[in-house]
Structure 1
Amino acid sequence: MIERAMIEVQGHWSERWAPVVEAFSDNFEASGEEGAALAVYLAGEPVLSLWAGEAAPGVAWEENTRTNLFSASKALVALSVLQLADAGELELDRPVADYWPDFGQAGKADITPRQLLCHRSGVSALQERVPDDAIFDWSAMTARVEQAEPWWTPGEGQGYSPFLFGWALGELVRRVSGYDSFGQYVEKALAQPLGLGLRIGLKEGDASPAQMRPLKRPLGGANSGGADSQSLGKIMKADPRGVTNRAFSNPMSLMTASNSEAWQRAEIPAANGHSSARDLAAVYGALANDGQLDNTTVLSRTSVALCSQELTFEEDRVLGLPLRFGHGFMLSQKRADCRLGRGRGAFGHPGAGGCLGFADPDFGIGFGYVTGRMGQSLLIDPRPQQLIDALYQCVGETP
């Protein structure tokens, strides 16, 4: 246990990881962090688990405290699709409409799962206005996905899909797997085999997740490289009916409802996964360990390689900056402030406001960081970036 700046850091670690603990504590002092957790796996074994602060006013953060992952949830969607492909139940280059006929409407007949995974489908946003409460209704949202028209010819451009990604691929998983819901697939095929408590849609009896609130003293500014909420806001304001505006604010509840019970209970796979840092790190720990953890195979070694395979790298039509994507996972970007680990094959996904999970197979590292205080970064928040820097000081810069 470490006490510093009135914050008591709790957890499990050996002296080797003291610089990481120091960096974790520093985040509370430097950025106004009030509740967060970090976990790391190395070669398939948990080596570090830290937590501190409050999950809500007067409620202490615990090791198993779940947090809304926002877009870090997309890793669970991508992994689910790759598992079905691994099992031979789904082909990544076969049209989605072959599995889900009504998806093929409005110019989407030839879109493939691989195009959805790497954000090259053109299905980045809904063009017709959506009622605020529609996002809590799975059938209503998948019906809208069926009717959606791509913003450009599928395959001809890259455009991040912040929310439709989850409904489109989640419904595909549901139909191919035969499970009643996408959340049930994640629970039965991923969480239970690994003994994890992560969720897509909280269940009756689950403890309340951490409250999401703005970070008091957000870090970033000049080092954000345009990857922050202010830059996104400028794009949205410049074109109120454009794809960026529609992607994030159609409906506005996509941006405002995360603390509501309706949001927490619904299945919004691209944005409302709930997980502890330990569970997020365990998923990536398996992927960094040839797809295995605790004698359970999550993904074959061949399919793990797909996670880090670059499928697209160009100026993103939604976020307005160059981005690299693999099969549903972001890859390390070309800027030094957006590196997922130090290995060339690292892959993962950030979540709006700060959450981050990644695997670095070259080093055998699985990393999970969650927070209840949202910063302004769209990619890797300075808080987990500082933790990454400290982590690799401990393990070395080369594998």
Structure 2
Amino acid sequence: MSKEVQVSGEYSHRFAPLVTAFTESFRAHGDTGAALALYYRGELQADIWAGKRDKKDLHDWQADTRVNVFSAGKALVAVSLLQQLERTGLNVDTPLRDIWPEFQNPEVTVRQVLCHRSGYSAFQATMSDEAIYDWGQATAQIAKESPWWAPGQAQGYSPMLFGWLGGELCRRLAGAERFNDVVQETIVQPLGISAGFGLSEEEQKNLADVRALESRYVPKDAAKLMTIFKDEPGGVTQKAFTNPMSIMVGSNSQAWRQAQIPGGNACTNARSLATFYQALLEPDKLLGADLCLQLRAQQSYSECDNVLKTPLGFGLGFMLTDARDELRFGSPDNSFGHPGAGGCVGFADPNRDIAFAYTTRDMGQSLLLDPRAIRLIDAAYACL
């Protein structure tokens, strides 16, 4: 696209340098369609977007354009499940089998699922695309699978199974037919945001297509992952991301967009994602005060996560900040959030009273925070 960038939306004078950094992301760092939103001290201070949203670059990104945010949507899964636990009086140490009788392993607890210690990080059985597009098939397979290690004994990020595990538990607790119905009723409608899993044809009309970021830069963590795929064929890391291959290549298809794949196909926009995180800074808006604290308290940490092979800490469904650029959600402590494949991210920083979201259609290769997101976060904090 042209290097001339027309940024739309609104922002406060204080955060004008952030808008400059957002513009630079198009001019120098490969963005062709993206949006950014930021709350500071409870007020929306920036809500901006620019670029195009379709494969042929014919249609402008608009205020309500949604995009697949991939794993950034795991935050919605976690909060929806925690809401149902709170509503029913259950706690995070409840065994899955108490909620989901068909689930064969009696040892797995909700806490273990939320902090990626369940051992259910990938399908062991070979899965077809059709199976992951069908909620009943996917969850039935998970219920009879065996974990990769004893539940609770190790941490291993669960890129895809996390979503079906959390979503099925949530659906059953709510007595709902579809997981997305629960998300709409308990998160989307109360906050007045736009987000969901499994879009109708009408909803897909303003959905951005995703594509590979035009960059020769391959982050060290991505290169490391490719080496693991080669050195450990059939291992948990390879299967977590490639069983089936549509996990990596199917996200523009109608089948992917219409299915409910909560670990990877949430569709939302930056303003909605930032509004969601802002609500988590306000006890009793989505969750009670105790759970608002628990979700960002460390539940698990590993110097070498069994799947991502990197140091990583989790709260209840959220990644926790640390000092490394690729996992620094604002302040180096107490912040929590979740990146998504390609570059999207949402987070909240209670220390500085910030909620931030960046969504993009141009998919980089970083496993955690994309360099574009890091630059934008740094620009935002320079404005404080």
Cα deviation for residue 86 of structure 1 reads: 2.5
User: Does 1:323 pair with 2:312?
Assistant: yes
Displacement of 1:240 in angstroms is 1.0
Equivalent residue runs for 1:68-147 within 5 Å: 68-103=68-103, 105=104, 108-147=105-144
1:174 aligns with 2:171: yes
Q: How many residues align?
A: 379
Question: Per the alignment, in what secondary structure is the counterpart of residue 192 of structure 1?
Answer: helix
Q: Which residue of 2 aligns with 1:312?
A: 300
Deviation at 1:279, TM superposition (A): 0.3
Instruction: Tell me, in whole angstroms, the C-alpha distance in 2 between the residues paired with 1:364 and 1:85.
Output: 27
Q: Quick check: 1:90–1:176 contact (8 Å CA) kept in 2?
A: no
Secondary structure of the structure 1 residue equivalent to 2:130: helix
Give the superposition deviation at 1:343: 5.7
Q: Which residue of 1 aligns with 2:14?
A: 16
Measure how far apart 1:218 and its partner are: 5.7
Which of 248, 259, 268 does residue 241 from structure 2 map onto? 248
State the TM-score, normalized to the length of structure 2. Answer: 0.96
Change (3 A) 1:179 1:121: same
Aligned to 1:369: 358
Among 215, 221, 226, the alignment partner of 1:227 is 221
3-state SS of 1:8 partner = coil
Comparing 230-239 with 275-284, greater Cα deviation is found at: 230-239
Alpha-carbon distance in 2 for matches of 1:279, 1:153: 37
Say which SS state the counterpart of residue 69 (structure 1) adopts: strand
Shift of 1:255: 1.1
In 1, the alpha carbon distance for the partners of 2:124 and 2:5 equals 46
Please report how far the alpha carbon of residue 204 of structure 1 lies from its aligned counterpart in structure 2 after TM superposition. 4.1
Q: Give the residue type in structure 2 aligned to 1:74.
A: K
Instruction: Give the TM-score normalised by the residue count of structure 1.
Output: 0.92
Once superposed, what is the RMSD of the aligned Cα atoms? 1.4
Q: Is the CA contact (8 Å cut-off) linking 1:354 and 1:375 kept in structure 2?
A: yes
SS at match of 1:285: helix
How many Å separate the matches in 2 of 1:159 and 1:38? 30
Task: Measure, in 1, the Cα distance between the counterparts of 2:106 and 2:289.
Answer: 31
Alignment check: 8 A CA contact 2:326 2:368 kept: no
Unaligned 5+ segments in structure 1 are none
Percentage of matched positions with identical amino acids: 46
In structure 1, the partner of 2:47 is 49
AA partner of residue 277 (structure 1):
A
Residues 159-193 of structure 1: CA distance to partner in whole angstroms, max 9, x if unpaired?
00000000111000000011111111111111011
Q: Deviations over 1:272-327 (max 9, x none)?
A: 00001100000001112x236xxxx2112211111210111111111111111110
Residues 1:154 and 2:148 are matched in the alignment: no
